[in-house]
Amino acid sequence: MRHQREPVLGAGSTIRTRIALVYGGVFLVLGAVLLLVVNLLVRAGTDADADAIVARADDVAVVEAYRIGDDVSRAAGEQMLMWSCMSLLVIACGAVVVGWWTAGRVLRPVHEMTARARRLSGLEERLDVRGPDDELKELGDTVDALLGRLETAFDSQRRFIANASHELRTPLATQRAAIQIGLDEDCEVRQVLLDANRRSERLIDGLLLLARSERGLAAREDVRLGDVVEEEYAGAYVAGDGGVVRGSRVLLAQLVRNLVANAVAYNVPGGEVRVRVEAPGVLTVVNTGPVVPDGDVDGLFEPFRRGEGRDRMGPGAGLGLSIVRSIAVAHGGAVRAVARGAEEGGGLVVTVTLPVTVTLPAIPAAV
């Protein structure tokens, strides 16, 4: 397990450290003021006593008595100041330790709430803070109420997606059947209508998949990334098993499928597509194609953005890379694209990095 080093000072320091330092600092300032007042009062009292003693001496011993009284007062003041400062520093250090311990006790429920929140695997779970009805319990109840509202919102979205899937696909299927049955094959309009119908179906499927992936993963399983890549693209190179990813096999397969389809669709005649998994959880797809300006690469991951030379009436819906990014983020990963220069054949290098839960050693090839 990797432990993070807690900073001691600065804006990034922990609340516990800041409380301990503030506690010790306030004690040090108040203690210094107290010792200053005590020393001034003691010095004033010592001088008065010394004057009374000198007044009782005879005329011959007055000068010597004054000198001795001053020396005694000065020595006593210096000793008291030295020991007072040393005692103040020791007690201030003790105050910092006490402040650290007190802050730890006070903030322990916050740490428990944080750990419990990190263990939550779904919106249906709650922090369920127990204890007295104080500010911390109020905070926990507020977070639980927020989770409840989010769960309601996501349930509403899930129902909307399911209903939209049915309501939008059914009329399109009806239209396709009517076109195929009602129009002769030699009719010029027939193929145009069928192509428009298929584009609408692909667009709806892409939007529903994008919404489902952005909603998060309802269930997770251990998936060998290498197996998924090889199933979707037979010519892929996979080192070992590619790592085991905790996620949805269906969505990961869709991620690979979209990457390969995008690389093929935006390729040039006689170009190439390379799909590789050379490190656990790292999928790289390289293709040749038109040279993409560096400033346009990030925009390709936005919905309905197409590469140069692709019109809106083409076969694609402009959702391929946006779906890839959404699926990668849903699995706790990231996707990055780099444009290739003309001397390299153009195109893109798209790299998807996914967190790996288990890394198994590569299986040696048979001799």
Which stretch, 170-179, 214-223, 254-263, has highest mean pLDDT? 254-263
Measured CA to CA, the distance from residue 23 to residue 98 in angstroms comes to 9
Single-letter residue type at 153: A
The single residue listed with the structure tokens 């010790």 is: 24
Contact 247, 223 (CB under 8 A): yes
Measured CA to CA, the distance from residue 95 to residue 103 in angstroms comes to 12
Tokens of 172: 């399109």
Note the pTM of the prediction, 2 decimals: 0.53
The helix-helix angle for 188-214 and 249-265 (nearest 10°) equals 130
Residue 229 pLDDT exceeds 90: yes
Contact 240, 226 (CB under 8 A): yes
Per-residue model confidence (pLDDT) at position 362:
44
Measured CA to CA, the distance from residue 351 to residue 267 in angstroms comes to 17
**Model pLDDT for residues 300-324, shown as the tens digit of each residue:** 887 666 555 444 444 444 567 888 8
**Model pLDDT for residues 92-119, shown as the tens digit of each residue:** 787 788 878 887 777 787 878 888 877 7
Coil, helix or strand at residue 220: coil
Mean confidence (pLDDT) of the chain:
76
Measured CA to CA, the distance from residue 348 to residue 327 in angstroms comes to 19
**Model pLDDT for residues 321-330, shown as the tens digit of each residue:** 888 888 888 8
Coil, helix or strand at residue 75: helix
Q: What is the dihedral of CA 45, 51, 57, 63, to 10 degrees?
A: 130
**In sequence order, which residues have a C-beta less than 8 Å from that of residue 222 and are 6 or more positions away?**
244, 245, 246, 357, 358
Coil, helix or strand at residue 223: strand
Measured CA to CA, the distance from residue 97 to residue 114 in angstroms comes to 24
Measured CA to CA, the distance from residue 89 to residue 107 in angstroms comes to 26
Coil, helix or strand at residue 87: helix
Contact 281, 242 (CB under 8 A): yes
Single-letter residue type at 142: T
Give the pLDDT band (50/70/90) at residue 6.
very low
Contact 323, 299 (CB under 8 A): no
Nearest CA to 331 out of 210, 213, 209, 226 is that of: 213
Longest dimension (CA), the chain: 142
Per-residue model confidence (pLDDT) at position 5:
43
Task: Kindly provide the b/e burial profile for residues 154-189, where b requires at least 16 CB atoms within 10 angstroms of the residue's own CB.
Answer: beeeeeebeeebeebeeeeeebbeebeeeeeeeeee
Per-residue model confidence (pLDDT) at position 311:
42
**Model pLDDT for residues 244-288, shown as the tens digit of each residue:** 998 888 888 888 988 998 899 888 888 899 999 988 999 999 999
Measured CA to CA, the distance from residue 255 to residue 325 in angstroms comes to 8
Per-residue model confidence (pLDDT) at position 288:
92
